[in-house]
Structure 1
């Protein structure tokens, strides 16, 4: 067997391991946001914390796993780790993202030696804080929930029913069964990784397996550098903004100067705006993850094994104290909003360098919505929804409809599943928003409308979004997509507009409409084919008068 064929076997084995982790985590999960929306990621890392393989899950989480694990290893005595240890943390200022994304790392030992780590992260439905599910009004991280510092704990001592770590978490969250259940699912996924890695090493030998972990990263780096060399050298600029009006901050710029030089890319985001006294700040790890995800989307070589080797040619520069690298104790719950703008500007800048790959901007906004209820028994029901909108049109076809933004990639939870599990609300409408995609030779994708009706008094709601004042911009003459909206209709018919960041209460019969925007169109609308226009109207995507 040639060395190349052997490396291919290891690549397939490692990727199969991570896919099995992902399947097991999802099937074992308790909460709808993990089980149905699939808001989690998994990876296999080497003993230095570099990612060797990852499943296709949430891009911003997956790209950030190495940053989180390497931060943790820098603070810990790695030589003191044992097979009974695990690392559990969520600190956004120590390599984490936001408090809801809890990382769990389990060391992998073979023959008494540390050889790697099984890594999982999942979005937990509640981590405490001022409001159930999410704290939309938080102005500092202390209001957002339980903050777990980087530390190890003993599974046998600290995680049983009376274990200290487990009890601390249970005592600080509103739905301990869901949170502990999802953490158990993460543990189960990591145990599968440990087991499968041992099987790979037993089959091919430990030394060849460890060598393959290094070589796969070097191989990916070589391929990635080759793909960068195919991009014309130069300096490319792009800008977008986050609507900071909910925090009195006006439009917060997100600006990039992207420099391609040979086989390296420098992404300079230091022109972006300052951090905000609100929950919309983006920790450095999330910013880097968004950059990595955007560049990976835009390179021409689509068959590269995406591991840590792909990140070596990329340098990301930010200003400390900015919205893209905030100083503590800034709140960070809505960090995906500015991270999405980072993705947008990097894709836009890369589109200037490789025009054939240019795409219009999508709605690309996390529309997060929590709907919760405290029953008379003292038990909470907490649901968090992550809702997508329309993607931007590209040069080959229209933008996709009703998808979460590319760096989030969550699925929409089925109505049947939610209404089976929860009794405090019903979903009375779930539809595409007609004509919400920007017009163009290829139109933007459509947003969605989802309407929730309270089935009890005192149902708590909270949410946040962006692009409620101006839609996703079009490209090359394409028109912008429609904006999003929240709207509350009381049981007596009174309509109450809601801002893009809100919290409140519903009583029985009250309804809240969550509407997401569409993607921008690409190309002159006059160039759209008559057949496409007819199809738009026939299929209900566009109004008759737009033909």
Structure 2
């Protein structure tokens, strides 16, 4: 069937609207601040094979990762046996997942008894068990990081909606804040319900055959647009190396080596030469490596308005040595996988910047700075988890933005008021821009964040991780490097403790921990550049 361009456009708009409404409903239904406020989730509508046809603009590494999580779904589940009461759940980093906190939920969508699509979502859950509330900073293997869920089919009415259901009980029994985790899973179900309702309405308006054809056509069209954009990049082999601090794991400075080959309408990225996997939580599952590459390539194309679906990924291939930090052997720990994944993004952007210098950009702080603040009470836990951003790199046209999460994460900063409403074991004393943290240049790198947490009771547990505490992100074309980050504890008695880039500590009443994130690199000749309003 050939659809008229006008009808394809109408149906594509309808599919995209489904994704956006899924995202809105998931966020509004969520319980935890990491999902509700920081928006650490992603949603998608897939076809019956599990290939993404439409997604909302949420977390890029999750957005690209949904297709990887669903790839080969028919190899694990007999799709002909699925019913409207079934759902699929997984978080396994070694079978298409990201890290254990990101739980994928897929629900089949039937119209007139026929399976035509899946509603898909992933959300970062505030706790998934493991050796430490919120995140296990010193884990050396996956088993210490929490509950691992292989791709599994279950009955929603029997196994989840019923409080005695097995899936609901197995999750609730293994996490510290079951109300928040189960509540956020219910929010994911709300997103899937939205997908089923709206897609059924679209089929009723436009026709079953027309919608199915459009689901195929939008992928082909996206592939065509991506290939056309890649053809604008000069053929060649471009190489870049990025590093991250692995000294907490006795691994020195780890390297991410990217060789990007552009050939016609295709891009191949090879990470041969990257560091071996690390005995710590800073390994990157291959699905996250691929997601970071896809996100970087899209940022460097001349056509940024291409809708994201599985067709976008067809011209891009990725390889990384098995046993490396970018494709680790199980059961390597992977909680901080965004550190190497961010260097993947940086390396690909830098490499392609050699090919298309007018799109080159200085490196940003581009580091997930995570902090978990938890308190064990007599009968329950309080667990707060936050992701803090830093400054982005500058480019020829403008300064780097201030205080943003890194480009492949894209979490929002949780408002102080929301956190202090939800939790009473800490308060936030300071929240400000880190002045002079951006690299100077013709245009300046963005500035980082300073955020100080004060324990209001004894025995408050804090844990976190970051990168770029020893060397800031590089400027380009003569621009200065961006500033570094730091973690500092000031005890109530005045004692000051400087922490490593990964830590687990205990605060007592009046103790403070200050999180400082760095800025982005500058662009152009390194000279003082005043931002608007500065003197």
Contact 1:439 1:478 in 2 (8 A): yes
CA offset at residue 186 of structure 1? 0.1
CA–CA separation in structure 1 for the residues paired with 2:74 and 2:190: 22
Contact 2:373 2:462 in 1 (8 A): yes
Match of 2:352 in 1: 350
CA offset at residue 189 of structure 1? 0.5
CA–CA separation in structure 1 for the residues paired with 2:71 and 2:312: 16
Contact 2:475 2:522 in 1 (8 A): yes
Match of 1:544 in 2: none
Find the residue that maps to 1:363 and give its secondary structure.
Answer: coil
CA–CA separation in structure 2 for the residues paired with 1:120 and 1:386: 20
Find the residue that maps to 1:437 and give its secondary structure.
Answer: coil
Match of 1:393 in 2: 394
Contact 1:30 1:178 in 2 (8 A): yes
- Against the structure 1 CA distance between its residues 200 and 481, is the aligned structure 2 distance closer, same or farther, given a 3 Å change threshold? same
- Against the structure 1 CA distance between its residues 430 and 57, is the aligned structure 2 distance closer, same or farther, given a 3 Å change threshold? same
CA–CA separation in structure 2 for the residues paired with 1:2 and 1:150: 35
CA offset at residue 534 of structure 1? 7.1
Contact 1:71 1:95 in 2 (8 A): no
Match of 2:290 in 1: 288
Find the residue that maps to 2:173 and give its secondary structure.
Answer: helix
- Identify which of 365, 370, 373 aligns with 1:371: 373
Could you state the TM-score of these two structures normalised by the residue count of structure 1?
0.96
CA–CA separation in structure 2 for the residues paired with 1:327 and 1:496: 35
CA–CA separation in structure 2 for the residues paired with 1:303 and 1:459: 45
Match of 2:338 in 1: 336
CA–CA separation in structure 2 for the residues paired with 1:36 and 1:478: 34
- Against the structure 1 CA distance between its residues 2 and 167, is the aligned structure 2 distance closer, same or farther, given a 3 Å change threshold? closer
Match of 1:168 in 2: 170
CA–CA separation in structure 1 for the residues paired with 2:8 and 2:364: 38
CA–CA separation in structure 1 for the residues paired with 2:102 and 2:204: 34
Match of 1:106 in 2: 107
Deviation string 1:350-371 (CA, Å, 9 cap, x unpaired) is 1111110000000000000000
- Against the structure 1 CA distance between its residues 2 and 324, is the aligned structure 2 distance closer, same or farther, given a 3 Å change threshold? closer
- Against the structure 1 CA distance between its residues 253 and 481, is the aligned structure 2 distance closer, same or farther, given a 3 Å change threshold? same
Match of 1:220 in 2: 222
Residues 123-134 of structure 1 mapped to structure 2, 5 A cutoff? 123-134=124-135
CA–CA separation in structure 2 for the residues paired with 1:2 and 1:503: 58
CA offset at residue 459 of structure 1? 0.2
Find the residue that maps to 1:533 and give its secondary structure.
Answer: coil
CA–CA separation in structure 2 for the residues paired with 1:270 and 1:118: 36
* Segments of 4+ moved more than 2 angstroms: 71-74, 532-538
Structure 2 stretches lacking a partner, 5+ long: none
CA–CA separation in structure 1 for the residues paired with 2:268 and 2:115: 34
Find the residue that maps to 2:116 and give its secondary structure.
Answer: strand
CA–CA separation in structure 1 for the residues paired with 2:396 and 2:431: 29
Match of 2:281 in 1: 279
Deviation string 1:483-537 (CA, Å, 9 cap, x unpaired) is 00000000011001110000010000000000000000010024x6xxx537463
Find the residue that maps to 1:448 and give its secondary structure.
Answer: strand
1:202 and 2:199 equivalent? no
Match of 1:89 in 2: 90
Find the residue that maps to 1:384 and give its secondary structure.
Answer: strand
Contact 2:140 2:332 in 1 (8 A): yes
Contact 1:52 1:213 in 2 (8 A): yes
Residues 336-485 of structure 1 mapped to structure 2, 5 A cutoff? 336-375=338-377, 377-485=378-486
CA offset at residue 149 of structure 1? 1.1
CA offset at residue 387 of structure 1? 0.3
Contact 2:119 2:195 in 1 (8 A): yes
- What number of residue pairs does the alignment pair up? 533
Deviation string 1:131-157 (CA, Å, 9 cap, x unpaired) is 000000000000000001111000011
CA offset at residue 74 of structure 1? 2.3
Contact 1:71 1:94 in 2 (8 A): no
Find the residue that maps to 1:348 and give its secondary structure.
Answer: helix
CA–CA separation in structure 1 for the residues paired with 2:34 and 2:306: 30
Find the residue that maps to 2:505 and give its secondary structure.
Answer: strand
CA offset at residue 81 of structure 1? 1.2
1:537 and 2:534 equivalent? yes
- Against the structure 1 CA distance between its residues 2 and 64, is the aligned structure 2 distance closer, same or farther, given a 3 Å change threshold? closer
Deviation string 1:175-211 (CA, Å, 9 cap, x unpaired) is 0000000000000100110110000001000011000
CA–CA separation in structure 1 for the residues paired with 2:227 and 2:130: 44
CA offset at residue 378 of structure 1? 2.1
Contact 2:3 2:210 in 1 (8 A): no
CA–CA separation in structure 2 for the residues paired with 1:495 and 1:285: 40
1:50 and 2:47 equivalent? no
Could you state the TM-score of these two structures normalised by the residue count of structure 2?
0.98
Match of 1:179 in 2: 181
Contact 1:489 1:512 in 2 (8 A): yes
CA–CA separation in structure 2 for the residues paired with 1:194 and 1:182: 19
Match of 2:26 in 1: 25
Contact 2:375 2:460 in 1 (8 A): yes
Contact 1:72 1:94 in 2 (8 A): no
Contact 1:260 1:266 in 2 (8 A): yes
CA–CA separation in structure 1 for the residues paired with 2:350 and 2:533: 27
Find the residue that maps to 1:265 and give its secondary structure.
Answer: strand
Structure 1 stretches lacking a partner, 5+ long: 539-547
- Identify which of 314, 319, 322 aligns with 2:321: 319
CA offset at residue 2 of structure 1? 7.3
Contact 1:40 1:120 in 2 (8 A): yes
Residues 262-277 of structure 1 mapped to structure 2, 5 A cutoff? 262-277=264-279
Deviation string 1:406-435 (CA, Å, 9 cap, x unpaired) is 000000000000001100000000000110
